[in-house]
């Protein structure tokens, strides 16, 4: 552990994070405070003061396995021009809601790769990510495509895309296990809010990289129709999404979910309805993002 330096970047937290600087650890710890500049700036600031050859980014709500660091560093040292992500398992410290139980049932946590798997750039995720420090700066560090406007801001996907354009590979380590204690899955209201915000800020991502419109599957049928470009099946999906995101359908879906959660909490049925509800929130968020984008002086 004498070869490891842990840098904790505190973005003006209110939970006494600064007390960590007074504690003793079997590794060197550096505490850095910044004034509410956001996660993207925090990660970049941590990278700037690091002197290590390999950078490993870990979100504050992620815990990692004992072999995770070794696995990530090994891949970074083995290959050139590579970005490495860990294998994330979704967890929740609050399992009081039916939504959380259903979500975790279908989270796919058991699908852990035995070895290292090559991923598409859209799977780049800073929850648990490693790369050579020199590569990080060559690629221009992390960048906020929203200019500070929204969160989640897609800085990891945007970083992965720039890496891809520069000939980098994205690998997932099956040995680098992380557990994401995700507050947004504690109930469906929080989950819907997160999907809404993510879709709203995606407008800025697509403004920077217009070619990504059709490359992010989770958003492909949530964005406006493109007559003459969309396939007939995509047009049908978009029309269905628009219908399901209208107030009457949204209200009806919520009422049906409330009834089923109380009287017939079937995971199979609820999982599908939760998907409809989340999709509706994403469509609403994207439309709101388009309106705000125009108001902020963008063009669409």
Please name the residues in contact with 289: beta carbons below 8 A apart, sequence gap of 6 or more: 150, 199, 200, 201, 202, 203, 204
Looking at the fold, whether 64 and 180 belong to one and the same domain comes out as yes
Q: Note whether residue 91 is domain-resident.
A: yes
Tell me 132's DSSP state.
E
pLDDT of the residue at 244: 87
Per-position pLDDT tens, the chain of length 300 = 668 999 999 988 888 888 888 888 888 999 999 998 999 999 999 999 999 999 999 999 999 999 999 999 999 999 999 999 999 999 988 777 999 999 999 886 544 556 789 999 999 999 999 999 999 999 999 999 999 888 899 999 999 999 999 999 999 999 999 999 999 999 999 999 999 999 999 999 999 999 998 889 889 898 888 888 889 999 999 999 899 899 999 999 999 999 999 999 999 999 999 999 999 999 999 999 999 887 776 654
SS3 at position 85: strand
Looking at the fold, whether 212 and 236 belong to one and the same domain comes out as yes
Stated pTM of the model? 0.92
Looking at the fold, whether 180 and 282 belong to one and the same domain comes out as no
Residue position matching structure tokens 């815990």: 63
pLDDT of the residue at 20: 86
Q: Note whether residue 21 is domain-resident.
A: no
Report how far residue 55's alpha carbon sits from residue 58's, in angstroms, rounded to the nearest whole number.
Answer: 10
Q: Note whether residue 196 is domain-resident.
A: yes
Q: Note whether residue 156 is domain-resident.
A: yes
SS3 at position 14: coil
Tell me 125's DSSP state.
-
The residue among 165, 185, 205 that closes a domain is 185
pLDDT of the residue at 17: 84
Query: 167: phi > 0 → left, psi -120 to 50 → alpha, else beta; which?
Result: left
CB neighbours (10 Å) of residue 212? 19
Q: Note whether residue 223 is domain-resident.
A: yes
Looking at the fold, whether 88 and 181 belong to one and the same domain comes out as yes
Looking at the fold, whether 147 and 203 belong to one and the same domain comes out as no
43 touches 65 (CB < 8 A): no
Give the CA dihedral 52, 54, 60, 62, nearest 10 degrees.
-150
Looking at the fold, whether 198 and 263 belong to one and the same domain comes out as yes
pLDDT of the residue at 108: 67
pLDDT of the residue at 132: 98
pLDDT of the residue at 110: 42
The residue among 185, 208, 240 that closes a domain is 185
Domain range for 204: 188-295
> Domain tally for the chain?
2
Q: What is the CATH number of the domain that holds 174?
A: 3.90.550.10
The residue among 155, 185, 215 that closes a domain is 185
pLDDT of the residue at 109: 55
Looking at the fold, whether 233 and 289 belong to one and the same domain comes out as yes
Looking at the fold, whether 259 and 161 belong to one and the same domain comes out as no
SS3 at position 63: strand
List the beta bridge partners of residue 9.
32
Looking at the fold, whether 180 and 214 belong to one and the same domain comes out as no
Looking at the fold, whether 61 and 173 belong to one and the same domain comes out as yes
pLDDT of the residue at 277: 95
Looking at the fold, whether 198 and 181 belong to one and the same domain comes out as no
Looking at the fold, whether 119 and 147 belong to one and the same domain comes out as yes
Q: Note whether residue 13 is domain-resident.
A: no
Report how far residue 143's alpha carbon sits from residue 156's, in angstroms, rounded to the nearest whole number.
Answer: 8
90: tokens are 């979704």
Q: Note whether residue 66 is domain-resident.
A: yes
- Please, what's the b/e burial string for 53-66 (b: 16 or more CB within 10 A of its CB; e: otherwise)? ebbbbbbeebebbe
């Amino acid at each position: 552990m004498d070869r490891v330096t842990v840098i904790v970047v505190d973005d003006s937290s209110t939970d006494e994070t600064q007390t960590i600087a007074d504690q003793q650890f079997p590794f060197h710890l550096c505490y850095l405070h910044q004034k509410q500049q956001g996660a993207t700036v925090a990660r970049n600031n941590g990278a700037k003061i690091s002197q290590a050859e390999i950078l490993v980014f870990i979100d504050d709500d992620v815990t990692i396995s004992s072999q995770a660091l070794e696995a990530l560093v090994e891949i970074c040292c083995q290959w050139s021009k590579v970005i490495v992500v860990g294998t994330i398992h979704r967890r929740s410290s609050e399992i009081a809601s039916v939504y959380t139980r259903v979500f975790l049932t279908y989270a796919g946590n058991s699908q852990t790769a035995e070895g290292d798997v090559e991923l598409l750039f859209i799977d780049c995720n800073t929850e648990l990510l490693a790369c050579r420090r020199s590569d990080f700066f060559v690629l221009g560090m992390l960048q906020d495509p929203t200019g500070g406007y929204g969160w989640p801001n897609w800085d990891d996907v945007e970083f992965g895309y720039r890496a891809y354009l520069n000939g980098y590979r994205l690998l997932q380590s099956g040995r680098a296990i992380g557990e994401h204690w995700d507050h947004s899955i504690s109930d469906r209201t929080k989950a819907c809010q997160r999907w809404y915000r993510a879709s709203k800020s995606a407008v800025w991502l697509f403004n920077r990289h217009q070619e990504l419109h059709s490359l992010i599957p989770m958003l492909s049928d949530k964005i406006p129709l493109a007559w003459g470009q969309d396939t007939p099946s995509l047009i049908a999906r978009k029309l269905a999404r628009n219908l399901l995101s209208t107030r009457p359908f949204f209200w009806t879906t919520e009422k049906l979910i409330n009834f089923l959660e109380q009287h017939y909490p079937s995971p199979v049925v609820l999982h599908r309805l939760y998907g409809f509800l989340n999709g509706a929130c994403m469509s609403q968020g994207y439309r709101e993002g388009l309106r705000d984008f125009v108001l902020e002086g963008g063009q669409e």
